[in-house]
Amino acid sequence: MFSRKTKNEKRTTVSNKPLAVVLASGGLDSCVAAAVARRSFELALFHANYGQRTVARELAAFRAQAAFFQAARILEADLDYLGAMGGSSLTDAGREVPTGEEEPPGIPSTYVPFRNTNLLAAAVAWAEVLGAEAVFIGANVLDNPGYPDCRPEYFEAFGRLIELGTRPESRIRLHTPLINLDKAGIVRLGLELGAPLELTWSCYVNDARACGRCSSCRLRRKGFAGAGVPDPISYEV
């Protein structure tokens, strides 16, 4: 078991780089986004537990990556109300996560309603408190399964919201460095930047061995195959 309490941990750093908050789920995309951010920024890593099925495994992956990146700040936030609301197969045990080759048309059942808005709002609030200059999120649109809050125009609008809703002197910029990359491109970029891809977790279903059947597993495997490198995690099938 792990503590579900929100914590704000500070680590000693000697870097003169400005600070950036990175939304870090423990997954592949956010890990690579953190690797991009650390080229120019000191890292403050933000992780949200929101009642997702693999919450314990994702948190373990996040903590391992935070140690690898030697994050200056760490915040583990409980957003359990998202899970309590339901509306997604990621948070509702009564709904099955699709494992077929093709999902039904429309918004996938794995979409968590307005999740990115809730996560970004919390991350921006923390960035303002810390005096951070940037917020990074590892969203991408090319391999996205159709989530409305992963579109470039959504992030453009949210960037404007940050301008309007924070102190004028804050000047926090929203960065989406992976937005136009497919999964193979994300894997290649991660390898180029030395991101710890072996510490990432993508499966929507399992905590031990990745199922290999959910849409997230299939996209991940497609990405590593497209990049021509083996995936460092193991699968059931």
pLDDT tens digits for range 119-159:
999 999 999 999 999 999 999 998 776 899 999 999 999 99
Contacts of 19 (CB under 8 A, 6+ apart): 41, 42, 43, 44, 72, 73, 127, 130, 131, 132, 133
**In order of start, what are the domains of the chain with their CATH numbers?**
7-227 (3.40.50.620)
Burial of 161 (0-12, 13-18, 19+ CB in 10 A): middle
| 213 pLDDT higher than 60 | yes
Looking at the chain, the whole-number percentage of residues with pLDDT higher than 90 is 87
Q: What is the pLDDT of residue 88?
A: 97
Closest among 225, 227, 210 to 97, alpha carbons compared: 210
| Residue 4, pLDDT score | 40
Q: Which residues pair with 49 in a beta bridge?
A: 78
Task: Give pLDDT, residue 24.
Answer: 98
**Which residue in 13, 35, 23 sits closest to 125, CA to CA?**
23
Task: Tell me what pLDDT residue 1 has.
Answer: 29
Confidence of residue 211 (pLDDT cuts 50, 70, 90): very high
Question: pLDDT at position 101, please?
Answer: 72
Rounded (5°) CA angle 82-134-142: 65
Contacts of 208 (CB under 8 A, 6+ apart): none
pLDDT at residue 74 greater than cutoff 50: yes
Answer whether residue 59 shows pLDDT above 80: yes
pLDDT at 11: 54
Mean pLDDT of the chain: 93
Contact 79, 118 (CB under 8 A): yes
Q: How far apart are CA 199 and CA 28, in angstroms?
A: 9
Q: What is the pLDDT of residues 175-196, one digit of tens each?
A: 999 999 999 999 999 999 999 9
pLDDT at 9: 64
Q: What is the model's pLDDT at position 53?
A: 96
